[in-house]
Amino acid sequence: MLIVKNLKAKIGDKQILNGIDIKVNAGEVHAIMGPNGSGKSTLASVLAGREEYEVTEGTVDFSGKNLLELEPNIRACEGIFLAFQYPVEIPGVSTVNFMKTALNKIREYRGLSSLDAVAFLQLMKEKMKLVEIDQSLLSRSLNEGFSGGEKKRNEIFQLAMLEPKLAILDETDSGLDIDALRIVANGVNKLRTKNNATILVTHYQRLLEYIVPDFVHVLYKGKIVKSGGKELALELEAKGYDWIKGDLALAE
CB of 194 to other proteins, least distance (A): 24
Based on the shown chain and the rule CB under 8 A, indicate whether residue 50 belongs to the binding site for other proteins: yes
Distance of alpha carbon 163 from alpha carbon 112, whole angstroms: 14
Interatomic CA distance for residues 94 and 85, integer angstroms: 20
State the CB neighbour count (10 A cutoff) for residue 19: 14
Query: Which residue in the set 14, 36, 64, 88 belongs to the binding site for other proteins (CB under 8 A)?
Result: 88
**How many CA atoms lie within 13 Å of 12's alpha carbon, on the beta-carbon side?**
1
Q: Give the C-alpha separation, 229 to 29, whole Å.
A: 11
* Dihedral (CA of 127, 131, 134, 136) sign: negative
| Residue with smaller CB distance to other proteins, 21 or 163 | 163
Q: CA–CA separation, 76 vs 70, rounded Å? A: 10
Stretch that binds other proteins, among 32-40, 67-75, 123-131, 189-197 (CB under 8 A): 67-75
Q: Please say which residue, 48 or 232, places its beta carbon nearer to other proteins.
A: 48
Q: Which is nearer to other proteins, 43 or 236 (CB)?
A: 43
Q: How far apart are CA 203 and CA 171, in angstroms?
A: 7
Contact 27, 193 (CB under 8 A): yes
Q: In this complex, which beta carbon is closest to other proteins, that of residue 51 or of residue 231?
A: 51
Q: Is 106 in the site for other proteins (CB under 8 A)?
A: yes
Our finding on whether 158 is near other proteins (CB under 8 A) is yes
User: 239 Cβ partners below 8 Å, 6+ apart?
Assistant: none
Does residue 196 interact with other proteins by CB under 8 A? no
Contacting range for other proteins; rule: CB under 8 A; set: 14-22, 80-88, 113-121, 173-181: 80-88
133 binds other proteins (CB under 8 A): no
Q: Which of 162, 185, 211, 233 binds other proteins (CB under 8 A)?
A: 162
Task: Count the neighbouring beta carbons within 10 Å of the beta carbon of residue 151.
Answer: 19
Q: Is 213 in the site for other proteins (CB under 8 A)?
A: no
Using rule CB under 8 A, residue 114 touches other proteins: no
Least distance to other proteins, CB of residue 77, Å: 5
State yes or no: residue 145 binds other proteins (CB under 8 A). no
**Distance from C-alpha of 234 to C-alpha of 231, rounded to nearest angstrom:** 5
Is residue 109 part of the contact set for other proteins (CB under 8 A)? yes
Burial class (CB in 10 A: 0-12, 13-18, 19+), 142: buried
Binding residues for other proteins, rule: CB under 8 A, are: 48-51, 71-73, 75-77, 81-82, 84, 87-88, 90-93, 98-99, 101-103, 105-106, 109, 141, 158, 162
